[in-house]
């Protein structure tokens, strides 16, 4: 199935970013809002304590699983927000690089934020997403 998501670039804005500035979807669609994917294993334990990249990998695996449960995939995502519990830009970049690895060519509009703390003990990374599926 082909994704109904169309990513938009804008030549009036810098091209030195690795994400699209906007995304469109033609109606009718089914919208999917995914809760923030966290670096938790099946037992609810935070994995890769102290490791931004390790947690980002688990977060993205969990995001893929949540999307699959709704009948969607990463290419159906239209917007993400990436949260990183750090004041160091290098930690944000580490998490972002893992996120980009999973997103591949589907460089949806996204916001990357450094935050003070996230909800689970030892949690460093979280990614929330909005996806759409074309109605057949």
- What digits encode the pLDDT tens for the residues 11-39? 888 888 888 888 888 778 888 999 999 99
Q: What's the token pair of residue 89?
A: 């830009």
CA distance 83 to 116: 10
Is the pLDDT at 60 greater than 90, yes or no?
A: yes
What is the separation of C-alpha 126 from the centre of its chain, rounded to a whole number of angstroms?
8
Other CB atoms within 10 A of residue 104 CB: 9
In tens, the pLDDT along 118-130 reads 999 999 999 999 9
Task: Give the predicted TM-score (pTM) of the model.
Answer: 0.89
Give the β-pairing of 110-115 and 77-85: parallel
19: alpha, beta or left? (left if phi > 0; alpha if psi -120 to 50):
beta
Q: Is 20 strand, coil or helix?
A: coil
Indicate the burial class of 11 (C-beta count within 10 angstroms; 0-12, 13-18, 19 or more): exposed
Percent of the residues in the chain that have a pLDDT greater than 70, as a whole number: 97
Indicate the burial class of 17 (C-beta count within 10 angstroms; 0-12, 13-18, 19 or more): exposed
């Amino acid at each position: 199935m082909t994704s109904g998501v169309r990513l938009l670039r804008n030549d009036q804005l810098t091209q030195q970013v690795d994400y699209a500035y906007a995304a469109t979807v033609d109606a009718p669609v089914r919208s999917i809002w995914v809760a923030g994917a966290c670096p938790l294993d099946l037992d609810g334990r935070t994995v890769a304590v102290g490791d931004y990249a390790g947690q980002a990998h688990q977060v993205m695996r969990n995001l893929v699983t949540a999307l699959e449960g709704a009948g969607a995939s990463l290419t159906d995502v239209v917007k993400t927000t990436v949260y990183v519990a750090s004041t160091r830009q290098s930690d944000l970049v580490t998490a972002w690089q893992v996120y980009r690895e999973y997103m591949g060519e589907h460089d949806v509009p996204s916001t990357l934020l450094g935050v003070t703390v996230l909800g689970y003990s030892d949690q460093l990374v979280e990614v929330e997403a909005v996806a759409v599926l074309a109605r057949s």
